[in-house]
Structure 1
Amino acid sequence: MKFNIRGANIEVTEALRDHVEKKLSRLERYIEAPPQSEAHVTLSVVKGLQTVEVTIPLIGLMLRAEEKHPDLYAAVDLVVDKLERQIRKAKTRANRKVRQEGSLRDLFRTDSGATAVLEEEEDFELVRTKRFNLKPMDVDEAILQMNMVGHSFFVFANSDTSEVNVVYKRDDGKYGLIEPAK
């Protein structure tokens, strides 16, 4: 697996790069990674907290984790643990279902030493369904509506694009917009 490590407001030293690569290499024992797999790692400092974001695109699956911690090396360890849990859950889900050749099941190695780790499966329980009419509005109005109802996200019909969009409040206090790919 290749590593794309970049720093935002932080210098990526050789020792730090080696630590990140060593820890993320642990994940290779779980993944039958195609040669074009590349782990994207962003290291940053925000308000005194060291942040590590890792994204690993795989065929049919996107692994992503983020951790914040006062110690950058501890944040790297925590994010790798989080990614391992995601892989185990995806592997368990894929193995539970009988699928045809070339599915997600083929992404994961079956003979790794990780089988000793207890694989827990999380059942997703849908407890509520809401239906509502989408009022056409611009992004600014959607953010206002979201703040008025006190939610962390808001679904709306974008009056500029005529498509369904979602605005959300980010951890840094700013806002994000999710719109369909074209």
Structure 2
Amino acid sequence: MATFTVRGKNIEITPSLREYVEKRVGKVTKYFEHVGEITVLLTVSKGRHIVEVTVPIQGGIVLRGEEATMDMYTSIDLVVEKLERQIHKQKTKLSRRLRGGSLKTEVIEAQEKEHPVDQRDASPEYPVVKTKRFVVKPMDVQEAIMQMNLLDHNFFVFRDAETEEVNVVYRRNDGNYGLIESGN
């Protein structure tokens, strides 16, 4: 049985809502032998009901899904569907990464017979169709954000002027900026 952490922002987590979350989101555990603590964040913001689910799986793999609708129960249902689609589409890659039968492929294959899945991402390798090269110039974070905005991109790769490490700045959905630092 999976353990759950269900938190709410601007919403009270009633026993019936918690039970619904555990029942619906718990469906993804049938695909794996070992699942860590499942984290579910339910948020109500400007009339939108947002569900964020994080499912840690053995081997350092993390499934994550987010959905937003005008109804919390609909958002929960949609995020579960999204997670199941991810599992089906990545079945081959997951089974290779999770050696020792941790992925229950027979469950996935039984469901695929009932409901065929888009097979575009089911190949064992991701095809790389184009390679680009560019110089990663040394600059500070503020200059990198300015460059990203000038290019009208959602992310920008740069080399930190002080540490010489390659980092990424990105635009978040909330309009703020994030930084991904390379490190060991």
Equivalences, count: 175
User: How far, CA to CA, are the matches of 1:178 and 1:3 in structure 2?
Assistant: 28
User: How far, CA to CA, are the matches of 1:49 and 1:181 in structure 2?
Assistant: 36
| Corresponding residue for residue 120 of structure 1 | 118
Change (3 A) 1:105 1:151: farther
Change (3 A) 1:105 1:145: farther
Structure 1 unaligned blocks of 5 or more? none
- State the Cα deviation string for residues 124-152 of structure 1 (Å, max 9, x = none): 44333221111111211111110000001
Matched, 1:41 2:43: no
Q: TM-score, normalising length from structure 2?
A: 0.84
Please tell me the residue identity of whatever aligns with 2:22: E
| Corresponding residue for residue 27 of structure 1 | 28
Cα shift at 1:86: 1.0
User: How far, CA to CA, are the matches of 1:161 and 1:7 in structure 2?
Assistant: 39
Cα shift at 1:104: 4.4
**Contact 2:40/2:51, CA 8 A, preserved across alignment:** yes
Cα shift at 1:40: 1.1
Q: TM-score, normalising length from structure 1?
A: 0.85
Please tell me the residue identity of whatever aligns with 1:54: V
3-state DSSP class of the match of 2:131?
A: coil
Taking only aligned residues, the RMSD between alpha carbons, in angstroms, comes to 2.1
Cα shift at 1:121: 2.4
User: How far, CA to CA, are the matches of 1:45 and 1:74 in structure 2?
Assistant: 13
**Contact 1:168/1:176, CA 8 A, preserved across alignment:** yes
| Corresponding residue for residue 89 of structure 2 | 89
